[in-house]
Structure 1
Amino acid sequence: MGFSITTWNINSVRLRMPIVEQLVLKHRPDILCLQETKVTNELFPAAPLRAMGYNHIIIHGQKGYHGVAIASRIPLTEDHRQDYCGVGDARHISAIFEHGNRRVRLHNFYVPAGGDEPDRTINPKFGLMRQHVPENEKLYTWWSYRAKDWEAADRGRRLDHIWSSSDLGPHLKRIEILKEARGWDRPSDHVPVTAHFDL
């Protein structure tokens, strides 16, 4: 059974709900994970997501800073939040979903960028492995707001990831990085990343 998860550092969900709707209407992921929502739980714009079929929403919000959310077409259980850094930031939320006779724990993390030096020999935070994409192929998920013409410069970073446990890895069929979203109206500096699994 086909199944997709999209992650997107939206950089203010209320400001960018129109492009969230654009993504959902065009690509229809089963689960959408958002980071840097920058809104408290009670002000999170859940109604537009529910109107598009995402009836299962869990939120760990924070005013003007951080914040994560999971919106799903399938039921979510065991809503859990953890403050890994012990400083009170809303950077993690997790839940369990079931699909294709599998029970999966999904974590949604917001981890601020690993520094200004994206060279893995200098900064090991950038030393991640890839599946389905050759090492020498440019693979960006973030382009700075500072660039006059981000697309022409095409100098970004791979800051957004979908990791899986080893038992799910073989079921990954493809990934999509929606570069065009960086050019949408009032965009985030990050773009959506979608993993497609056959579960």
Structure 2
Amino acid sequence: MPFTVATWNINSVRLREGLVGHLMSTEAPDVLCLQECKSPVDKIPSFEALGYPHVVARGQKGYNGVAILSRLPLQEVAAHDHAALGHARHVAARLPNGVTIHNYYVPAGGDVADREVNEKFGQKLDYLTAMRDDFHAGRPERSILVGDLNIAPREDDVWSHKQLLKVVSHTPIEVEHLAQAQDAGGWVDITRQDIPEGQLYSWWSYRARDWDAADKGRRLDHLWATPDIANAAHSSRILRDARGWEKPSDHVPVFATFDL
């Protein structure tokens, strides 16, 4: 039975409750994974009236936070505190068809790509290393991984590879750490499996006066699957228009459908 998964860094679920509801009403993904909810779990708005009665989440007041909102029943299976940061950055749940969905919010890493002078950059690298080690310890099966991974790995995942090589989110050391985590789990990048060529972005800075015209984006939001179900995926897309909604997140939703 086909089901559609969407991932979206919402940048405050309470502030943008209306945008979440709009996405649910117009796009109706079966499973919606949110990052940067910035809310304790008990303060996350209910979307049951829109057909999403099932919620698995980890929250913090004002920071981080991940949530899986679903039309389908969910069974929580994990919530990792990678690198022992004490942050709400991961939660995983299993669907009735046996597919496990991992929702990640990888640390942004601050502004300076040097762990010796920027603790946040070191935390980001350590988090990715812990993800890698976790996948090595138990290689995932029948799993989907989504989230704001805060890295644009490919040259065509950024507006200018040359100009961003030393900018956090596209530096070679970050790209290598992400690749190691991906390889450890055997994860397939579903978005790029479906859309192998061309510039793709899911994030545009608030600093741009006209984000659409400047189009200086990065693909920071990802949707992966394990090889045993990757061939069941199709219809990947990025909802660019959401960046132009009223009081938007700086990220937009990423979708894929699985025939399972």
Q: Is the aligned partner of 1:132 residue 2:194?
A: yes
| Residue aligned with 1:139, SS | coil
1:66-91 alpha-carbon deviations (Å, 9 max, x no partner): 00001111111134311012021000
SS at match of 1:173: strand
What TM-score do the two structures reach when normalised by structure 2?
0.70
- 2:39 is aligned with what amino acid? V
Are residue 37 (structure 1) and residue 32 (structure 2) matched?
no
Where do 1:112-151 residues align within 5 Å? 112=107, 113-114=150-151, 116=168, 118=170, 120=172, 123-125=175-177, 130-135=192-197, 137-151=198-212
Q: Hey, what's the Cα distance between the residues in 1 that align with 2:6 and 2:94?
A: 16
2:82 to 81, 84, 95: 84
Normalised by the length of structure 1, the TM-score is 0.90
Helix, strand or coil at the partner of 2:24: helix
Structure 2 portions without partners, runs of 5+: 108-149, 152-166, 183-188
Residue aligning to 1:74: 72
Quick one: higher RCO (CA 8 Å, sep 6+), 1 or 2?
1
Q: How many residues align?
A: 193
In structure 2, the residue matched to 1:197 is 258
SS in 1 for 2:32: strand
Structure 1 SS opposite 2:248 = coil
Question: Does structure 1 conserve the Cα–Cα contact (< 8 Å) formed by 2:56 and 2:76?
Answer: no
For 1:117 and 1:45, how far apart are their aligned partners in 2? 30
**1:105 is the counterpart of 2:106:** no
After superposition, the CA RMSD in angstroms is 1.8
| Superposition misfits of 4+ residues, deviation over 3 angstroms | 119-123, 125-129
Listed one character per residue, the Cα deviations across residues 105-157 of structure 1 (whole Å, up to 9, x for unaligned) are 1110101334526265984357685212123x010000000000000011110
Q: Specify the alignment match of 1:96 in structure 2.
A: 94
- Distance between the aligned counterparts of 2:106 and 2:169, measured in 1? 16
Given that 1:74 and 1:97 are in contact with CA atoms closer than 8 Å, whether structure 2 keeps it comes out as yes
Change in 2 beyond 3 A, CA 1:26/1:117: closer
Higher helix share: 2
Tell me the equivalent position of 1:3.
3
Code of the aligned partner of 2:106:
V
Percent of paired sites with the same residue = 49
Runs of 5+ in structure 1 lacking a partner? none
